[in-house]
């Protein structure tokens, strides 16, 4: 698959893959950019152009990963992107999916008790997901940011060591595969097994939203597992915190 370059027009990029829309929004970019290229837009909006390109290319091609390049980025910029992704899930995706599930069940005719299980399954998935996000926001990200500060300033280093004695990124790491599995199962159950006693158009909207979220979520996990965590290990080594 072709890779996007900084000389590409962003409008062309979106025509080629509209699922990138929420991704560019996370960088603060909004539509109406005329014929501006990626580079021009990044410069005017204060975005690191290499990071932007890596993120959209990683999003588009599951197998693409120029790990070397990505490891050059500061953890600050990666965490900022991940936080915006979390915000997008919590403030937009989940409420939207809740709304679609309401509609989906509301239009159910006949025997609908079983269809209600979709809501229960989804709620449990969401709860687990939010829990994961909270651990990252409240514990993992602050740890990484303090680690980074500690490397720059010897004063911070003492504070860091007393605060995080005994912690390291390995202890925070959590498998993403559980949640990936559940999201796949939910889609597959609707596609293969749920009695189709609902409005098919609403069913399609719900499924599209789940597909899109799944893609976004996998991409998010890839960035954490392949960029953030190796980067943090590198920092831990620098400060002498690897066991």
**Alpha carbon distance 206, 229 (integer Å):** 33
* Contact indicator for 221, 181 with CB cutoff of 8 Å: no
Minimum CB separation of residue 104 from other proteins in Å reads 15
Minimum CB separation of residue 49 from other proteins in Å reads 40
Minimum CB separation of residue 97 from other proteins in Å reads 17
Q: Of the candidates 210, 204, 226, which has an alpha carbon nearest to the alpha carbon of residue 126?
A: 210
Nearer to other proteins, 79 or 217 (CB): 217
Which residue's entry shows tokens 């959590």?
174
Minimum CB separation of residue 197 from other proteins in Å reads 12
Please, what is the end-to-end C-alpha distance for the chain in angstroms? Answer: 41
Q: Which two tokens stand for residue 144?
A: 């990484």
Backbone angles phi, psi at 128, to 5 degrees: -65, -40
Nearer to other proteins, 127 or 173 (CB): 127
Nearer to other proteins, 18 or 113 (CB): 113
Compute the half-sphere exposure of residue 189: CA atoms within 13 Å on the CB side of its CA. Answer: 15
Nearer to other proteins, 20 or 207 (CB): 207
Binding site residues, other proteins, CB under 8 A: 113-114, 117, 120-121, 124, 178, 181-182, 184-186, 188-189, 192-195
């Amino acid at each position: 698959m072709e890779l996007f370059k900084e000389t590409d027009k962003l409008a062309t990029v979106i025509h080629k893959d509209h699922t990138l829309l929420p991704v560019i929004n996370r960088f603060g970019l909004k539509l109406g950019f005329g014929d501006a290229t990626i580079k021009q837009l990044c410069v005017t909006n204060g975005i690191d152009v290499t990071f932007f390109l890596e993120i959209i290319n990683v999003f588009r091609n599951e197998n693409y990963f120029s790990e070397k390049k990505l490891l050059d980025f500061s953890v600050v910029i990666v965490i900022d992107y991940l936080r915006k992704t979390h915000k997008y899930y919590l403030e937009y995706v989940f409420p939207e999916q809740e709304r679609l599930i309401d509609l989906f069940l509301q239009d159910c005719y006949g025997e609908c008790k079983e269809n209600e299980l979709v809501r229960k399954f989804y709620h449990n998935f969401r709860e687990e997901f939010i829990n994961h996000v909270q651990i990252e926001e409240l514990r993992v990200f602050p740890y990484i940011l303090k680690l980074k500060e500690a490397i720059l300033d010897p004063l911070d280093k003492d504070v860091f060591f007393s605060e995080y004695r005994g912690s390291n990124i390995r202890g925070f790491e959590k498998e993403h595969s559980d949640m990936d599995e559940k999201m796949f199962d939910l889609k597959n159950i609707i596609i293969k097994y749920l009695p189709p006693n609902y409005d098919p158009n609403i069913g399609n909207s719900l499924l599209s939203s789940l597909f899109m979220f799944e893609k976004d979520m996998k991409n998010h996990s890839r960035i954490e597992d392949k960029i953030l965590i190796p980067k943090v290990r590198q920092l831990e080594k620098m400060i002498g915190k690897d066991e």
